[in-house]
């Protein structure tokens, strides 16, 4: 196999914010033929960093649950290296920043044979945007902005109307949480979350087995034809997903054939990049920053204390974090998302320079509650020891990825500062910036800082409602400058993920994302 490297694809801002009609969906010829014995026997064994915790895409939280949602539930649109392609939609058009229409394809069916029409899409999206769940509310804000969306079906046409302008709806409709749930799933939400509703699935795979916390298996539907991308190779009949114990174990399994496709973010990847027995692609999977809790009444030391926020940022070296977390393979950030994204700050002067002596003069004697995730022990140890070296007492809470993300929104009284991992692969920087500006999470938004910043919020609103790409970009840069000067967060690094496939398998990166549905048995 030819070795290949793909980097994060930036979707042009004009394409994502523009209000012009879009082209029909691309079709694919990669569906396995019904009479192919080889196709029927194919299996791909892969790994995730954790196991899915439930199977309702609307309330999916944590990287494993979100990644697995793509297998079972199709979205209306999908991101591509050139903009968007159709998923369950064939055409899409915006007539204004509040009104959108999509045409639903006429050949897609649920796993129980129910034809997927505009009403099914409307009902599923209505559930997403009204369910009382923090992850769903965050996804709703990313997909539809701060207003209230209304979904109306008329034949094969789905109309979306917003009470507030929002120019990134099409990008939002590519997000995994917007995956369309079939009627059987909406009728049994408990069974949907457990993965036991046979007719709930709209995507290419259905759940075959779930060994909670350990592994899951998916089976390819024989009636599925709605592949969004044209790819070489054959979709696997069975996809087995296990939890990666650690990077070294993953490397050993890949070498021995115990797994076919896996990912690395540390130096274990490098043994595969020069071997003809493996192919690989790279992508920026997550961008890591420290976000300070400024919520009134939370007990956080950072409320009304910009000097403490600045000192904490000064105490932690991006290079040191990079070495501890990623063996030095990460890339420095200057904002909360990838530096390669359009309209993202690159001005290093807006950041706090590493200065442990200056940090110690402010942090000595302070008690800091650090919220982080359980599978990042070296990075967590580095941050905690850096703050302790500055004289602070540090209390660490390390939760599994789903609980960690939920705590950032729902347990503001439990932490002062949290490590945030931004996994935005849409190419829309506004989706990432919503974590530190715009509507607060307490009010149904994504901003977890707990503090409104009127200047940044006004610029952010302009950026997400104007259809002028240059004006939007300038406003986004202004908003970032404002929150960085206020030290609402401290950018660290983005990780480079190596997606490695052994000979006989492929796993391409599309629009900067690793998508489990694009894994193929090489043909």
Give the pLDDT confidence score for residue 229 in this predicted structure: 95
**pTM for the predicted model, two decimal places:** 0.75
466 alpha-carbon distance from chain centroid: 24
| Span between the terminal Cα atoms of the chain, in Å | 11
The CATH code of the domain at 50-231 is 3.40.190.10
pLDDT at residue 9 above 60?
no
Structure tokens that stand for 39 in this block: 């196709």
pLDDT at residue 401 above 90?
no
pLDDT at residue 421 above 60?
yes
Q: Where are the domains of the chain?
A: 50-231
How are the residues of the chain apportioned to helix, strand and coil, as percentages rounded to the nearest 5?
A: 35, 25, 45
Number of H helices, E strands in the chain: 17, 21
Distances in Å between the Cα of 125 and the Cα atoms of 71, 105, 177, 334 are: 18, 17, 9, 34
Cβ atoms within 10 Å, residue 109: 16
pLDDT at residue 150 above 80?
yes
Average pLDDT, the chain: 89
Report the distance separating Cα 331 and Cα 52, nearest Å: 28
Q: What is the mean pLDDT of residues 249-258?
A: 96
Sign of CA dihedral 261, 266, 272, 274: positive
Structure tokens that stand for 13 in this block: 């801002």
Q: Which residues pair with 283 in a beta bridge?
A: 497
Percent of the chain scored above 90 by pLDDT?
Answer: 72
Report the distance separating Cα 479 and Cα 475, nearest Å: 6
Measured at the CA of 375, the angle between CA 370 and CA 379, to 5 degrees, comes to 55
Give the pLDDT confidence score for residue 426 in this predicted structure: 64
Residue 338: pLDDT band (50, 70, 90) is confident
17-75 confidence digits (pLDDT tens): 333 334 333 333 334 333 333 433 499 999 998 899 999 999 998 889 999 999 999 99
Q: What is the mean pLDDT of residues 208-216?
A: 95
Give the pLDDT confidence score for residue 364 in this predicted structure: 97
Give the pLDDT confidence score for residue 485 in this predicted structure: 97
Report the distance separating Cα 108 and Cα 182, nearest Å: 11
Residue 128: pLDDT band (50, 70, 90) is very high
pLDDT at residue 93 above 60?
yes
């Amino acid at each position: 196999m030819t070795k290949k490297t793909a980097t994060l694809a930036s979707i042009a801002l004009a394409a994502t914010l523009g209000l012009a009609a879009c082209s029909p969906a691309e079709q694919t010829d990669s569906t396995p033929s019904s009479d192919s014995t080889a196709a029927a026997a194919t299996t791909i064994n892969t790994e995730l960093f954790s196991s899915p915790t439930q199977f309702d895409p609307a309330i999916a939280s944590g990287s494993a649950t979100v990644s697995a949602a793509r297998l079972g539930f199709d979205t209306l649109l999908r991101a591509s290296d050139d903009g968007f392609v159709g998923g369950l939609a064939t055409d899409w058009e915006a007539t204004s920043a509040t009104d959108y229409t999509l045409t639903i394809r006429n050949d897609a069916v649920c796993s129980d044979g129910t034809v997927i029409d505009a009403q099914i899409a409307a009902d599923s999206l209505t559930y997403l945007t009204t369910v009382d769940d923090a992850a769903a509310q965050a996804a709703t804000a990313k997909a539809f902005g701060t207003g209230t969306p209304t979904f109306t079906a008329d034949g094969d046409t789905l109309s979306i109307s917003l009470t507030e302008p929002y120019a990134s709806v099409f990008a939002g409709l590519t997000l995994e949480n917007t995956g369309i749930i079939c009627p059987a799933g909406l009728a049994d939400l408990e069974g949907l979350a457990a993965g036991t509703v046979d007719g709930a699935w709209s995507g290419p795979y259905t759940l075959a087995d779930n060994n909670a916390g350990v592994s899951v298996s998916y089976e390819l539907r024989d009636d599925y034809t709605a592949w969004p991308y044209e790819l070489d190779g054959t979709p696997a009949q069975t996809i087995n997903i296990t939890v990666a114990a650690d990077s070294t174990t993953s490397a050993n399994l890949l070498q021995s054939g115990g797994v076919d496709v896996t990912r690395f973010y540390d130096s274990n990847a490098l043994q595969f990049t020069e071997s003809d027995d493996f192919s690989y692609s790279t992508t920026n999977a997550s961008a890591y920053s420290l976000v300070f809790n400024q919520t009134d009444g939370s007990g956080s030391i950072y409320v009304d204390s910009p000097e403490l926020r600045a000192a904490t940022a000064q105490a932690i070296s991006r290079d040191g974090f990079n070495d501890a977390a990623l063996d030095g393979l990460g890339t420095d950030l200057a904002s909360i998302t990838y530096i390669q994204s359009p309209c993202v700050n690159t001005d290093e002067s807006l950041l706090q320079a590493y200065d442990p002596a200056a940090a110690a003069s402010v942090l000595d004697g302070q008690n800091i509650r650090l919220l982080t995730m359980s599978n990042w022990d070296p990075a967590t140890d580095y941050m905690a020891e850096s703050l302790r070296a500055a004289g602070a007492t540090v209390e660490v809470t390390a939760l599994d990825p789903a609980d960690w993300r939920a705590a950032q929104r729902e347990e503001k009284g439990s932490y002062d500062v949290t490590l945030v991992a931004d996994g935005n692969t849409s190419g829309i920087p506004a989706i990432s910036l919503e974590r530190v500006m715009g509507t607060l999470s307490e009010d149904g938004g994504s901003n977890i800082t707990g503090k409104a910043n009127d200047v940044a919020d006004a610029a952010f609103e302009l950026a997400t409602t104007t259809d002028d790409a240059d004006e939007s970009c300038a406003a986004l840069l202004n908003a970032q400058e404002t929150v960085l000067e206020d030290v609402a967060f401290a950018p660290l690094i983005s990780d480079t993920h190596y997606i490695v496939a052994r000979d006989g398998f492929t796993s391409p990166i599309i629009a900067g994302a690793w998508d489990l549905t694009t894994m193929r048995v090489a043909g």
